[in-house]
Structures are given as structure tokens and as C-alpha cells.
Amino acid sequence: MTGAAVSPVSFAVHVARLPKNGMPVVIDASEGARLALAREHGLEDVESFRAELLVTPWRRDGVRITGRVESKIVQLCVVTLVPVHSTIKTDIDVILVAETSKLARNDTDESGEILLDPDGVDAPDTYSGDTVDVGTLAEEHFELAIDPYPRAPGAKLETGSEDEAERAPSPFAKLAQLRRND
């Protein structure tokens, strides 16, 4: 959970002082933050962005962040370039541990290679210091939920006329013709 750029919806939570039952966090993005989100993610508009999260202690030096991100966005259709309105609803359930935690260490063999079990549980992500930016985490989940190829209802990609397809010889027909000539 380290990053150079600060999220437009950044919200730092001091994890060393979390209540036992957790700390609720609500992020309702301002107009400026929504404009920045639209610019950073190549969107026409972000009409709303809301994250409702609960940050709770996890084991001795970890935190668990659960909740939901909901947003209304406008993108351009990849076929017609008309605006497409979409609603994003994505759940968050993330566990983070301190970089110094035993749970953050990866198992290595004698040559120093990291050993991973492809069927095993993923290792938790890490954070450094005593704060976690839950806004950045919410933005990451928002980004993953954006449709990379939005289409307006009924939009179809024109591939040419059917006559052209019928007139074009099949590559297999050309191969058959070559075989007959031999």
C-alpha cells in the first residue's frame, strides 16, 4: 500500500489507534475530486463516488478493510463515441499487514527463490508506517470495476458489406487450388 501519487479521494486512517469494533469511514467525493478521478481514469465524467468502509484490527499488526464503492460514471462508447452512463458497485474485502509482520514474509528456498502455492491463500498486502490510505484502496477497486470497452445499447461495429465477404476468396480455397495445380 505504498504509492507516490496521492488519490483524489485519499483518506488516511491511523491503524495503531483503531477501536476494537472498527472505524467506519465514508468517502463522498467532492466535485473537484470527481473531476480528478475522471481525468485520471480517462472518463468523460464521474457523477458520483461514494465509499462506505469499515476498518477493523486484524490479528496483532494487521487491518481488515471491508465495504462497498458505488459510483456513477460517463464513458464514450468504443463504437459510436456517444456517452454511455454506467453504475459501478464493487465490494472491498482486503487484509493488510505491517511490512515488518511475519505474515508479510514470503517463504524462500535455499537459492533465495520465493515459493508460492498456486492453490493456497494469497499473502496479505502490506503497509508501512502507522497509517493506511483507505481512499486509495477504494479508488483501486473503482478502477478495476470500470468497463474498458463500454458500448452504447445497440451499437454494432461495421465490418464491411456482406458482398465484399462473399467476393473475397477463402484462404482454404486458394490452398485447394494450389493443390489441384500440382
Q: pLDDT (tens digit, 9 = 90+) per residue, 130-171? A: 899 999 999 999 999 999 999 998 888 777 655 555 666 777
Strand partners, 56: 64
Give SS3 for 34.
helix
Q: Model pTM greater than 0.85?
A: no
**Which pLDDT tens digit goes with each residue over 50-71?**
999 999 999 888 899 999 999 9
pLDDT in tens, 6-54: 899 999 999 888 998 999 999 999 999 999 999 999 999 999 999 999 9
Q: Give the residue extent of every domain in the chain.
A: 12-181
Grid cell at residue 124: 496479505
Output the nine-digit C-alpha cell for 8.
483524489
Strands of 10-124 (E only): list them: 12-14, 23-28, 45-58, 62-76, 83-98
